Structure 1
Amino acid sequence: MFPELQSALSPERRQFILISDWRTDGGFLIHHFLSDYLKSRRKVCFVALAQSFSHYNLIAQKLGVNLVSARDEGQLVFLEGLKSYTSLLFSQTPEADSQNPLRFLRTGADLRPLYDFIYGALAPSAGEEWRSPALIVDDVSLLISLGVTPLQILDFIHYCRAGICHQLQGDVVCLVHREEEDEDGEVLMRALCHQSGLILQAEGLTTGFCKDVHGQLTITHQQHQDRSTIYQYKIQDKNVSFFAPGLSAAVL
């Protein structure tokens, strides 16, 4: 986790946290929440639609977390979307498809199979001692490119908020990657903003590349009358440094 970022975030639980990125990669925020939740001994279900397990594990190790151990201990339930979708695409056996959480991509139905998988993974079991659960989705906008409509995604998020945030008293973290001239993506983004308690918007610099400033992060707390704080950041090998705009080494 990144201590400077953690101190700027709301300590409130049971909330929907929306991450968006624009002309930059906001994946470092996903890695922050994943490492923070695991270090806090919370049960985590990670729906990875963007990258492989080895990618997330490599970065997590730099942050002091071993995803393999967390998965083996039952603390982390990891759904590797790329592998599941490939299996679904080339599967010839209906029996295998019926167990795939992404089988809705073949049938065009709603995302209930994915929600059932997530809720089943996070629902408390006898003997478990993990703290409040958390769902992380990276990134939900990829579902649009696979034929899922924004309305279906919004229904899915609604059920995740109801089931995880309210029933299980946990958190939901969702990343949306924004693209130019993507109408469905913008509709999804605007609708999710209205549902979220905390919004983190990562943006690339309008002036272009700078070795001392990699982007800008706007943090908006919806529960506090839409109060927003703006930081600039620099991504390092094992950390991300945050500072007020204009205070980087590039302008000192």
Structure 2
Amino acid sequence: MPAVPCNTQDYTWHKGTRCEAIVTDFQVMCVAVGSAALVVLLLFMLTVFFAKKLYLLKTENSKLRKTNLVFQGKFTLLRDTRTDGSFLVHHFLSFYLRAGCKVCFVALLQSFSHYNIVAQKLGVSLTAAKERGQLVFLEGLKSCLDLLFGEEEEEQSAQPSPLQFISESASNLKALFDFVRTSLTPGGGDSWKGPVLLVDDLSVLLSLGATPVAVLDFIHYCRVAVCSQLKGNIVVLVHSNEDSEDEENELVVNSLCHHSDLILWVEGLATGFCKDVHGQIKIIRRVSLELTAEQDHIQIYQYKIQDKNVTFFARGLSAAVL
């Protein structure tokens, strides 16, 4: 019996003259529709995932912006590595002044005019804060020059300079502590919310000749006076470099990290300079200090410093990438 050939027009693909294996148009359409549906489902799942992440970040950011609470008795450490974390100092300075707190600012790195110019961009006037008694500003650069080249004026002054240890053989920071305690002790007519000690930056004291023990003792006494007795807050900036050979500075940094309630660790990018991402910040909430079984809460964000503000975002979600 002769072989009857199949009608090839009815099939998309066939094998053999008698169509032993075939693929119909309907089967091809089912595979195409199924593949397209799978791709759409995957895209929908990815869209929902990233939309949920962005929503959580926006919600958390809005909560942080709306929250104007000033916690009491907290020691916050600002630490920077391979970058400049001074923008955090400007943030805390403007934040506490807006919140109506009495601020003692020990500025060892820059002049008053520098901080005032940056504060004006953030909507705060340091000059006005000083005039109304809300801000006590210690200009470390000027005090050092007065100690080194203004001996006659210093002898006529009734009170010793807070940085008196520079001209003495022993690195005793008692004069600096007395200055802080006197500045933040509330008077009879003060109506400020709470005292705040802000130091920028603590590493300069080591460069001026203070020993690590003296610096740690100074911070310890400030914590007792400001945080425990006056129910205020302390914010300190320190520079660190894990590859540095400065053992004294690393000793101070590690000791402060151990006793801090909150650590804001700013680091430069390991890949180098980037126009759209200036670095990353690690937020470490020391829950372990509260004698609980919980571990420290760690959050990592990337940031970009702009003219009047700083933008924070999750790693890999910068505006340039999205």
Give the TM-score normalised by the residue count of structure 1: 0.94
User: Is the partner of 2:96 in helix, strand or coil?
Assistant: helix
Structure 2: state its 5+ residue gaps.
Answer: 1-59, 289-294
Length, aligned pairs only: 250
Higher helix proportion, which one? 2
2:220 to 147, 158, 166: 158
Higher strand proportion, which one? 1
| Alpha carbons 2:83, 2:266 under 8 Å: kept | yes
Matched, 1:231 2:301: yes
The alpha carbon displacement at 1:92 in A equals 2.5
User: Is the partner of 2:80 in helix, strand or coil?
Assistant: strand
The structure-2 alpha-carbon separation of the partners of 1:97 and 1:177, relative to structure 1 and needing over 3 Å to count, comes to farther
1:104 to 157, 160, 165: 165
The structure-2 alpha-carbon separation of the partners of 1:6 and 1:22, relative to structure 1 and needing over 3 Å to count, comes to farther
Partner of 1:141: 203
Give the aligned CA root-mean-square deviation in angstroms.
Answer: 1.9
Partner of 1:125: 187
User: Is the partner of 1:131 in helix, strand or coil?
Assistant: coil
Partner of 2:278: 214
Partner of 1:7: 64
1:57 to 110, 116, 120: 116
Partner of 2:311: 241
| Alpha carbons 1:97, 1:103 under 8 Å: kept | no
| Paired letter, 2:221 | Y
Q: Which has the higher contact order (CA 8 A, sep 6+)?
A: 1
Separation in 1, partners of 2:317, 2:96: 30
Whose Rg is larger?
2
Separation in 1, partners of 2:206, 2:166: 11
| Paired letter, 2:190 | E
Partner of 2:86: 27
Structure 1: state its 5+ residue gaps.
Answer: none
Matched, 1:83 2:153: no
The alpha carbon displacement at 1:182 in A equals 1.7
Separation in 2, partners of 1:22, 1:150: 19
Could you list the per-position Cα deviations for residues 160-214 of structure 1 after superposition, in whole angstroms to 9, with x for gaps in the alignment?
Answer: 0000001000000000012422211111100001111000000000111111100
State the percentage of identical aligned residues: 56
Separation in 1, partners of 2:320, 2:312: 14
